[in-house]
Structure 1
Amino acid sequence: MPRTKKQPPLPLNERERYVLDHLISRPDGFPSSELIDLTSQAFGCDARSVRRTLFSLREDRKLARYSGETKGRLWFAIGSPPSDVRPSTDHAIALLTLRQLAQRHLPAGVIGALADDFAGAAHVLGAHPTDSNLAAARQWLGKTARLNAGHALIAPDIDEALFQTIGRALYDDHTLDIHYKSYNESAPGRYVTRKHRILPYALIEKGPLWYLVAKIKGKEDNTALRLDRIRSAAPVGADGVPGADPGRGRAAGTGGQTRACLSLAQARRQSDR
């Protein structure tokens, strides 16, 4: 008998792509119950339909596996997904942030070659607008910005672990306890380190300096804090700054809040002193 030519795999459907995106986003394993709940809410389907999707990714696509019994089972992405699979949520954030903040640092030909990747990333974050799991990812693009420096400066050192702690709190709309080195108005030319509880609103890059626009507990106005003057930062959680608005970063849509924060950072230059 003549050999049957192997047919290429069918493109992933929307639900398979959605589930695979979530598996890729958690290399250490995605809890089965949480994954079923998220997918059921996103697509308006029952748990049995989601289990069929997982079975298809495991048995037919060979793109997923699980570990453990029914209770406490974890799912993992495996193998090389077909070319039509969209980027994961994390990769989508990275691609769109690159396009927004750093595309001039790349050759024009490279940016052109990434056009399809940018489009795929935008599709990932734009899909299922009611999915709360993607909300923080969409909001991130409106929480960062870059400004041109007014004059040449030497970039101060910022501890990478501290930067990551602040970035995670900004992403999650969580508060921080920080120790901040600020200008001592009662002793000109000197600085004093004070402890504050803050809710981060935006990160601003201006030349070699990074600013964190935040609501400080006990202060009416928002403040632009220089990151190189933050000596330490410890996560607090979702509450802790009375009068702050945890939804500020998403109130104006992508980019809108950043523009407001740019004006705020420019207006409060006392942090430069």
Structure 2
Amino acid sequence: MSETSIRYLTMLRMIPRYPRTITAPQLAEALTEHGFDLNIRSVQRDLDKLSAHFPLMVDESSRPYTWSFNASAANSMIPALDMPAALTLELARAYLTPVLPQRALEHLKPHFQEAQETLGRRDNPLGRWPDRVRVINRGLMTRRPIVNAEVLETVTEALLKDYQCDLTYQARSWPEPESIRVHPYGLIFRDPNVYLIATIDGREGIRQLALHRATDSLLVEEHVDRPRDFDLDQYIYSGAMGQLYSRKPIQLRLRCDKTFMYHLKESPMSLDQLIENETEEHFELMATVGDTQDLRWWLIAQASHLDILDPEYLREATVQTLEEALERQKALR
């Protein structure tokens, strides 16, 4: 393959899909890093040639012009999908559609369409797969709050480049929206919400910012002030994503009805979960967990199928909540 062909392929891989764009000077700089020494005029000539054969778009409303792949075009720079790859993408579509914001899904839509077209070719039994697979989230099915598309774009770019960003944000406890400078640490998709884990200039502590409460955003090309020891997984496992009633983990001990709670043996509550004293009707479960609001909600919901053996205070709190709920419902009679 000639050096020119390799250069063309390299350029095409660098051009993003709309609405993201790139300019000829940015391409020239990126190509230099890959060993191609071209001036901006040569890059512009290459772009003009490539646009005759590939679905490239150019925005000439400002200078320098910006280039991108058509948003609806499948990625022409990857080999044609085979059946296993198409099936994998179709599975990803089924699983991700209920979880990701619509704007995030839009970036994957061309690939999903290509996968569906591949599965639908010929008399292929895999083509019937989309009609035979569904993903159901456990818990109450609620409508996902709408995340501002520009906010999501800004936040994801800030995370990728390790930059700060400005948000116009309305927390539930704030009387009105405020302009804040944030240092993004990570994104957590916890259905139905998307949370930006970040710190806010002038305020202490790591915050969980629900992105649907942000209405405006601006990328700030200044590097994030991030603690060297921050780890997103450790942050989640600490119980921080649930309202913490105690910063110390608790040793939870339950006696569970086997018929209704057998799934806990297959999907442990913690890495150190231990099952003991198993009979035909019951088993005892011990696990180190965070004392979170989610845990307490779950214990209340499953109260008719388990006994809280330890800690005692958690059993008393559950009983109190159930008694209050019972009294409230009785009052409606």
Task: State the TM bucket, normalised to the shorter chain.
Answer: 0.3 to 0.5
Question: 1 or 2 for the larger relative contact order (CA 8 Å, sep ≥6)?
Answer: 1
* Higher Cα radius of gyration: 2
User: TM-score, normalised on structure 1?
Assistant: 0.47
User: TM-score, normalised on structure 2?
Assistant: 0.40
